[in-house]
Structure 1
Amino acid sequence: MPSKAHDVATMFVDLVLRHKLWDKVGTLPEDEVRILFDVVAAAGFNPTRVVPGVLVGHYRDQDGSSTGRTYPINSLCPYKVVGKDSDHYFATGWLDCALRRVYYGMVRQHESPKKLIEVMNEEIERSVPLEPVRLTPEGDLLREYPPSTLGFGLEYFVRHTRDENNLDTCVGVHEFCSSWMDRRRATETHDAIVCRGCYLRVLFPREVKTYGELRQALASQWVQVPA
């Protein structure tokens, strides 16, 4: 049975292939805009709207200062993604990257619709970020390490951490505090995740190897046993 991601990928590919000249596309009908919204949502972003517009990024010098030159975030897709509070630059870039992958896959590589649907299904599923790991009953969360890009020209297609991935020395970022978190040896039987910023320290069994095992181990510590 096809997954939801596959259904969304199918509708998205059909939409992209429906328009032969995307650089000439202006305003899309409401049902087609909804498909753009659905593909962004399925990819793990939290859009509130998808609206006409182009976002721009700023070129930086080696010291991080702006050169004054800009470049379009969405160079082919005429729509941008709006998040809860403002324009969502990464989601807009991802949508443009997805549209370019399908459109140029058809025009330049002559890939079949079936192949393009498979590609987009994979990218949608890969784009969904790791669910943050709850570290404490109070709600401290471990967010995944910033994901790496898959290749030049596909800078918004990234590889996220998964529950089956092993914990490294640096395990990710402390949500809200926004500081790095490290795995450190603590006792004979336990390791600790320690925040570099606020110094939160959370113990867990040393045999834990993956994010999924960490999630389960910490959750089991909070289970209340009836008296």
Structure 2
Amino acid sequence: MELSGFENEWEGLTSGEKTMFQKCVRIMLKKTFIVYDKGEEEKKEYFFISKHSDLFSRYLSPIGYDVLVDRDNKVIMFQNTVSAGESSKMQINRCNLSLADSIVLCVLFTIYSDRVRQGSLAESIIISITDLRFQFEKYKVQDRFEKKRELSETIKKLERYNLIEMNGKLGEADTKIKIFPSIQFALDANEFHLFAEQAEKRMFTKDLQSRDIDLENEDGEVFDDTDE
């Protein structure tokens, strides 16, 4: 980092811009993603960081971060520039997801990707709770979220990082979830491939079980499909 370069550019900012810079740094350290489509305040933050992205990167580089601006998706994010072997302490800000968090993240990413492939031009994708639960059933993970509490906690965590936004309460029929484009940058590729492989195995197992059930009548007797 060229400290003198940062100081020179910093001194060129107005008092209001310095305040905005400090605010944006705190928000990014807390949320990781800034999403243009979230609201009016986020639009202001997006434009300000985009304009001064080099200044943000120079300021944050000593703690192992670079600031990336994806103008196609209108998302600003941190990139960790420290390799795992350099300093474990520098990795401490990374969020550890539970199994439930990872499952929901993968399912939401799948929904988002499918809608984009189908030609949706919206920057964010809006789904219902029913849509989400349908996908749980599709991937045979619905049993994991029979209790509303676990799903609610996961949604709150993903909201915290500007990946989604829920409008309404989880138990209400008209509740919607907005999936932000930032979700495509939050998912580790290896994690998603593992989820897809496990989901495929679950679907295959369930299919075999359903075929076994179809061969039995209501009394549990196996049908004889041979000619007498």
Give the TM-score category using the shorter length: under 0.3
The structure with higher relative contact order (CA 8 Å, sep 6+) is 2
Q: TM-score, normalised by structure 2?
A: 0.24
The structure having more radius of gyration, on CA atoms, is 2
Structure with greater proportional strand content: 1
